Chain A
Amino acid sequence: MESVIAINQQDQVQRRKRRLRENIAGWIFVGPMFIGTALFTLLPILASVLISFTDWSLIQGIDGIRFVGLDNFVDLTKDQTFITSFQNNFILMLAIPITMAISLLLGIAINSGVFFKDFFKIIYFMPYISSVVGVAIVFQVLFHPSLGPINQFLINIGIDNPPKWLADIHYSLPSVMLILIWTQIGFNMIIYIAGLQNIPKDLYEAASIDGANAWQKFRNITLPLVSSTSFFLLVTGVVYSFKVFDLIAVLTAGGPAHSSSVMVYYLYDVAFTNLKTGYASAIAMVLFLCVLVITVLQWIGQRKWVNY
């Protein structure tokens, strides 16, 4: 009897030891990631929320902090540059369905059995992998209002007054969108091809036997069965559209006259050029909320929108 208890106790001690070892191992493995996340993401989020309620500049010391409640947010609603930037973010989203449509078309074409399939994937993927700064600088020259190859071509085919592109307040944002579409097609296309490959071939065969034409097959088989892919691309596209910074910073610096400014660019300008840290943090909060709302909508939408 006694020996059984002793063995039991020994067993328990050993089990506890093993649990402890397991816990320590877990913390060691997850520790670096967790500490990094806490230090470089969680802490800054809290700080960002706090600073957004202050009137402060980062060149002042900590004692320069003055809490002003919601003043920054009230000011934002009266700040014409911010309103333009905010609106531009939503105009920018128009590029997403266009990108998706072109990508789906390309994906279907490549997936339908052409020669050199992998070669085409690489070709159309190249802009996505290229340095945005390099791409922006090339397009700056291509879009040059008087000398650029694009306008020389347009004049040559008989268009007398081609748009001034990046130098024109009405065309600067559309120009940005054109380049955005060009760079994002590769990504969208690869995801669509992956989605298309999951569609069972016999569905098309059955439709053919029933006498369906190409359009009917596209409309009734392809489109519904890539709806989850489309939804994914729509959401990542929208989230990405809020983060477009490099392209605009290099291409137009938000100009001319803020016509191509977006929230992230204005945020950068306010924070690091005007050094209004409190005000910039208020913009950061609006940006954060926008992305949060989209994420929540995604959770709700995923159930309703997607077939099967």
Chain B
Amino acid sequence: MKKWPISKIALTVILFACGIIFLLPFIWMISTSLKVEQDVFKFPIEWIPSQFNGEANYKKVWLGDYPFYLYYWNTIKVTILTTFTSVLVSSMAAYGFTKVNFRGNNFLFLIVLATFMVPQQSIIVPQFLLMREIKLFDTHLGLVLLGSFSVLGTFMLRQFFMSINNEFIEAARIDGAGHARIFLNVTMPMIRPAIATYGILRFIWTWNDYQNPLIFLRTDKYYTLQLAMNKFSDTYGQFYSLTMAAAVSAIIPLLIVFLIGQKQVIEGIALGGVKG
């Protein structure tokens, strides 16, 4: 399998060219968001705008009729709360299923396992009724709760808890530590990479979620970014430079989060083969 450098260089160049074509939609989006409206569909495409209008476009998006700063705040709030609760609930359950020897352990695990394959869409109508009944419809708390009980997260973290040797736990028990102490001080530090991976993935999935906000929110001021983004494009659909500025605002910050945590994300995906 020894490669000659020349073929290695050639392959790199080919992959690079394909990569640029692959990312052209993003490049076009960014470039268009900086243009004046009449230049949007000029052909050949002006990749670098001749008339720069970025400032006005982004001002309109961030401070206009649909103030994106508010939707950013809503999204950050919902996403951080969901990620935190989901990581906590899932890792507690994973610890309980693997390290606590209690009655009903297998039975409960089987029940949780059985719900894994249920597509959320098939139960979204009763979920809607439930949320209306417990007065959490059109609230951020309702959204957070819907995203907090992840079977996927429990499975993923369970794999990691299983890999922790029981001797560590026995040793801590002999020292007089209870399960709460062992969970927080012994096992959590040991599976920190797994927590980081799941946390970042949950963050990305929640941030990008469109379906739940669409169904469970009604009031404008509670909108999350994805929902607001679609409303914005419904209203300003004819102003393509504005719509693209909104799209950039919706996509790019998360790409930056991804770039920072890319190692964890890619390893996590590869390891668990997880899918939101």
Contact = CB atoms under 8 A, between A and B. Distances in A.
Given A139-B25, A280-B125, A288-B118, A249 B214 contact: yes
Contact of B41 (A137, A149, A236, A264): A149
Contacts of A152: 41, 43
B219 interface: no
A240 B275 contact: yes
Given A34-B108, A40-B146, A129 B25 contact: no
A149 B130 contact: no
Nearest to A265: B121
A246 B108 CA distance: 32
Interface in B222-239: 225-226, 229-230, 233
A243 B251 contact: no
A51 interface: yes
A134 B253 CA distance: 12
Contact of B254 (A125, A130, A271, A292): A130
Contacts of B50: none
Interface in A183-232: 185, 187, 190-191, 193-194, 201, 204-205, 208, 232
Interface string A114-134: 111010111111110111111
Interface in A13-66: 22-30, 32-34, 36-37, 39-45, 47-48, 51, 58
Contact of B105 (A26, A134, A149, A295): A26
Interface in B110-129: 111-112, 115, 117-129
Contacts of A30: 92-93, 96-97, 100, 102, 105, 108
Contacts, number: 283
Contacts of A127: 22
Interface residues of A, number: 98
A26 B210 contact: no
Q: Chain B at the A interface: mostly helix, strand, loop or mixed?
A: helix
Contacts of A169: none
B250 interface: yes
A236 B178 contact: no
A131 B229 contact: yes
Interface in B200-223: 204, 207-208, 210-211, 214-215
Contact of B226 (A118, A133, A239): A133
Interface of B: 1, 3, 8-9, 11-12, 14-16, 18-19, 22-23, 25-26, 28-29, 32, 41, 43, 45, 89-90, 92-93, 95-97, 100-105, 108, 111-112, 115, 117-130, 132, 145-146, 148-149, 151, 154, 178-180, 183, 204, 207-208, 210-211, 214-215, 225-226, 229-230, 233, 240, 243-244, 246-248, 250-251, 254-255, 258-259, 262, 265-266, 269-271, 273, 275
10 interchain residue pairs of minimum CB distance: A26-B102, A29-B96, A36-B149, A33-B93, A44-B126, A47-B126, A194-B270, A44-B123, A30-B96, A284-B122
Given A43-B126, A58-B125, A277-B125, 12 more contacts: A23-B102, A45-B122, A58-B128, A58-B129, A124-B19, A129-B254, A131-B254, A152-B41, A194-B270, A246-B211, A287-B121, A287-B122
Interface of A: 22-30, 32-34, 36-37, 39-45, 47-48, 51, 58, 106, 109-110, 112-116, 118, 120-127, 129-135, 137-142, 144, 147-149, 152-153, 156, 182, 185, 187, 190-191, 193-194, 201, 204-205, 208, 232, 236, 239-240, 242-243, 245-246, 249-250, 264, 267-268, 271-272, 277, 280-281, 284-285, 287-288, 291-292, 295
